[in-house]
Structure 1
Amino acid sequence: MTVRLSRRVTRMQPSASIAAKQRVTELQAQGKEIIDFTIGEPDMDTPAHIVQGAIDAMRGGDTHYTPTAGVAPLRQAIADKLRRDAGHDYTAAQVIVGSGAKQLINESFAATLDDGDEVIVPAPYWVSYPDIVTLYDGVPVVVPTTAANDFKLTPQALAAALTPRTRWVVLNAPGNPGGAIYTRDELRALADVLAGHPEVMVMTDDIYEYLAYDQHRHVNLVAAAPELAARTLLINGFSKSYAMTGWRIGYAAGPQALINAMGKLIGQSTTCVSSIAQAGALTALKGDQEFIEETRQVYEHRRDVMHKAVSAIPGVDCRLPQGAFYLFPSVQALLGKRTPGGQVVADDRDLVMYLLDEAGVAVMDGSAYGMPGHLRLSFATSLQTIERGCARMAQACARLA
């Protein structure tokens, strides 16, 4: 029997980052030494006091279903955190907890998109945005940015992309993969454009909020433009800030009607987030916050080391990212060259495979992020790994004719 799949699922692409990680795992299982720069998660373990908080909750019998939107103490703690960091008074009822930020992005689009509705997605973008939009019958409108502008959406580009069908604008900062962080003035300028389009909502994905380097600091849109709070959905989570990727817990805050609709969808799918993960998340918010600054400093040093090494490779042009934990260099000058075996490196995907086969280094292609001719390299790994991997890449690139 042949299983007939829906048009909805067949038009989706597999997650490029998950596929890359799976390929690395397969090669390593074959005994090959692969230096992995595809990693999109902290390489540190979850802080011990957060783990202990979850253990204590389990031993205390906190192993049952919770309210769909999350337990009240956690939602209130998130509201308190947002009041401090985002500069807006959210009530606990305006907060919903999900099984990772990705679930909440899915639910928000599922709750609001109808056939043909458009979602503006600046490129480079996190790989899943366009496919999640497509899944719910929306149309992703990809708006290119430039390295010269640090991969940020400009007011002029936003204004040109808006149409009567526009339903959402997605802003991700610090950005994956470009590392962009918007200043308050830049956000204010975008808000001025949106003022003339009251039907358009904004999704701000702040998952990397604490990973800001040098003089840069993350500012949320509602802090820069409070008048947009009624149509802004803030997405965040615990994965990057507290090294809790495997815990699968994120949160969203926004208009009450949207939060209620998202809760209805979660109630018919996953019911609620694991009570144990929620206990860990509450411990994270209430406990010692030193881990955040300590890891930020570690990443900043790794960024500098990797940026220096990658920038020294002839044919590679790399901007210094303002935040997150990725480099996103242009490799246009390497395309069209030939490998030692005589094969033409026609595009960034070919270069990715060449580096994997020739150097044993796994990176992501920029095409997966809506910007061909680039690579994404994660520096969420040890300094030794960064130095060895960059040295291998440099040697492999030097062998291109």
Structure 2
Amino acid sequence: MNRPRYQHGFFSRHQRKKGPEVWVYRWRDIDAKGKPKMRALVIGSVKQYPTETAAWKAVSTLRLDVNHHTSRPEGLPETFEQLVEHYRLIELDLEKESERKVVQTKQTYAVYLKARIVPRWGHYRLREIKAVAVERWLGSIDDLANGTKAKIKGIMSEVFQHAIRYGWLNDGENPIFAVRQSTKRKRVTEPLEVTEFRALMLELPQKMRVIGIVAATTGLRISEVLGLKWMDIDWKTLQMDVSRSVVDGIVGKCKTETSRRPVPIDELTTAELLAWRKETCYAEPDDWVFASERVQGKMPPWADTLLDRFLQPAAKRAGITKWVGFHTFRHTYSTLLKANGEDVKVVQELMRHANISTTMNIYTKALTSAKREAQSRVVDVLLDRSRNVVESAAEDAA
């Protein structure tokens, strides 16, 4: 039986009826019935790649996939950068849906590969990258949290596993498996005291104050808060659907299936949302609850922008010495639930954690009424129910 031959493929120039002249790359493929078939792919315009040499360079990564069936040296990526380019082509195509990665994850992987990984390791041959060297490199990066370093390690490991799947490396040749990298937080997130929370809210403009209240009284992650649209809120049943998240301008699904469960909202939180809806210019059902005026409401703002421009300066003005981020609100919510002695299963479901320890799993599913009562006790503490807003909220909702 003859082994599949390595193929280079060939180029031709094609003048479209409408549009510029383009380079077309052609190669042999085997169809589902095992018969040879010619395939073609437009690489780019002649203006973009003036010479055939430039076109060959652009198609070098694709040729790795065309020849994935051969183990000849010509069919192997020579450098880690070549391997990364092939990985991007197959795994990080934003136009292709994937069960393994949502668009948001693909975007994150692409950013770390381009900004951190390839500049440091791209010129190395695959077997030249050693675990100790990667471990020391990660340890030398001072501007990243341990969790982010662990993510970079995971991305590198996945790229090496990609090479193993294609037969370019043998099983057991993933050096990243031996890299030690802690995920322990360098900075411990401290919950806010009630007095600190109230002082902080007084220093924030209305939009930011409502974001803080929603986060602190529902436990939503900031990506989920920014992903809310007005149509997600059911004013009659006082709950909202959490079906999407927004991170750095990318709209994606929530972190886990558990995260996408409906969340109860207290009457005081509802009142704040209704008051904000009267003020915002973007109050239609399909509008973002916290739309960005800068882009005419087409997207919510970036969390980092809100953190730098509003939240941390407000915390400083309020005299709060601990570090305050958006996760502080979620941590405060969780801490108050536990301090109030709530059932552990209720806490798990309100926090929408996917996993719980074996001991916690013996509890039965929390009833909606129990979750609402537990949440309301947190709101009582944070927002002071003595304010006469419940009746007005009910009237507005009607």
Shared fold (TM-score greater than 0.5)? no
* More contact order relative to length (CA 8 Å, sep ≥ 6): 1
TM-score (norm 2): 0.22
TM-score when normalising by structure 1: 0.22
Larger Rg: 2
